[in-house]
């Protein structure tokens, strides 16, 4: 197995960072890797906002629901859907952009944001750094828009905290790969057994790591029983990302 695969397969989310800065050389390499990542039709409808200022990172941590590690890690990168950029390109040719008003447009941008996120994760971990993705910036998207001074037709979709690891952790187990990989056709026949087994495995993991507050996977899914970031749709609409086509 090559080193890239080893890095990807030992991934874990880190929430404890030293105060050592991430060097410009490392940060530039991470951003440049994401910059070269694929986007649909080469539209490049993704932008990154790099936040290193401590006060601004503290504000991001607050907006994300009090995630202290966002303030602790020396670098936070917001991944932004950017149809403002593409609109400028179309305007040059005299065309009118419509994709930003569609579910397809938002979906494509979300996929491309995910590709950028995954690329930065691998790049950062290859440099020995720790990372944790931050979806919580969608908790208060208007606050993030104001903080990052984002124009219309943009939306802060997800972020990434990056830093030197202070306290490493055991890699969290996953559900059996048979519940993830489907050959030729989708087959959910083994899901119930896999979920039961994983609930037990995850509880053992929490106990080994002293997490008295740890819950089974099925219990941890409780946020999916509601729209847990309800401001996403109205704020995206105010930004011009209507999703009505």
For 158-209, write each residue's pLDDT tens digit. Answer: 999 999 999 999 999 999 999 999 999 999 999 999 999 999 999 999 999 9
Mean pLDDT, rounded, of the chain? 97
Residue among 212, 206, 205, 173 at smallest CA distance from 12: 173
pLDDT at 27 over 90: yes
What single DSSP character describes residue 127? T
Domains of the chain (ranges; CATH) run 3-169+227-238 (3.40.109.10)
Asked whether 51 and 57 are in contact (CB, 8 A), the reply is yes
What per-residue confidence (pLDDT) applies to 242?
A: 87
pLDDT at 239 over 90: yes
What single DSSP character describes residue 172? P
pLDDT at 22 over 90: yes
What single DSSP character describes residue 197? H
Positive or negative, the Cα torsion across 233, 239, 243, 245? positive
What per-residue confidence (pLDDT) applies to 243?
A: 83
pLDDT at 13 over 90: yes
Mean predicted confidence (pLDDT) in 215-242: 96
For 33-58, write each residue's pLDDT tens digit. Answer: 999 999 999 999 999 999 999 999 99
Burial (CB count <10 Å: 0-12, 13-18, 19+), residue 23: exposed
What is the DSSP annotation of 196-238? Answer: HHHHHHHHHHHHHTT-TT---HHHHTGGGGS-SSTTHHHHHHH
For 89-139, write each residue's pLDDT tens digit. Answer: 999 999 999 999 999 999 999 999 999 999 999 999 999 999 999 999 999
């Amino acid at each position: 197995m090559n080193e890239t695969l080893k890095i990807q397969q030992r991934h874990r989310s880190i929430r404890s960072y030293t105060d050592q800065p991430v060097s410009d050389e490392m940060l530039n390499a991470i951003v440049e890797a994401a910059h070269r990542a694929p986007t649909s039709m080469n539209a490049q409808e993704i932008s990154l906002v790099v936040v290193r200022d401590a006060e601004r990172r503290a504000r991001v941590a607050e907006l994300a629901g009090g995630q202290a590690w966002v303030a602790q890690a020396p670098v936070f990168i917001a991944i932004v859907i950017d149809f403002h950029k593409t609109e400028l390109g179309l305007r040059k040719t005299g065309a009118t952009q419509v994709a930003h008003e569609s579910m397809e447009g938002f979906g494509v941008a979300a996929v491309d944001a995910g590709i950028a996120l995954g690329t930065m994760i691998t790049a950062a971990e290859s440099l020995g750094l720790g990372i944790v993705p931050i979806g919580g910036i969608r908790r208060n998207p208007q606050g993030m828009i104001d903080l990052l001074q984002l124009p219309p037709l943009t939306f802060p979709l997800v972020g990434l905290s990056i830093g030197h690891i202070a306290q490493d952790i055991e890699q969290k187990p996953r559900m059996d790969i048979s519940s993830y990989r489907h050959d030729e056709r989708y087959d959910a026949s083994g899901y119930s057994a896999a979920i039961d087994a994983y609930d037990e495995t995850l509880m053992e993991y929490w106990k080994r790591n002293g997490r008295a507050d740890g819950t089974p996977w099925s219990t941890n899914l409780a946020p999916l029983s509601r729209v847990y970031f309800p401001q996403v749709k109205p704020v995206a609409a105010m930004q011009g990302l209507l999703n009505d086509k």
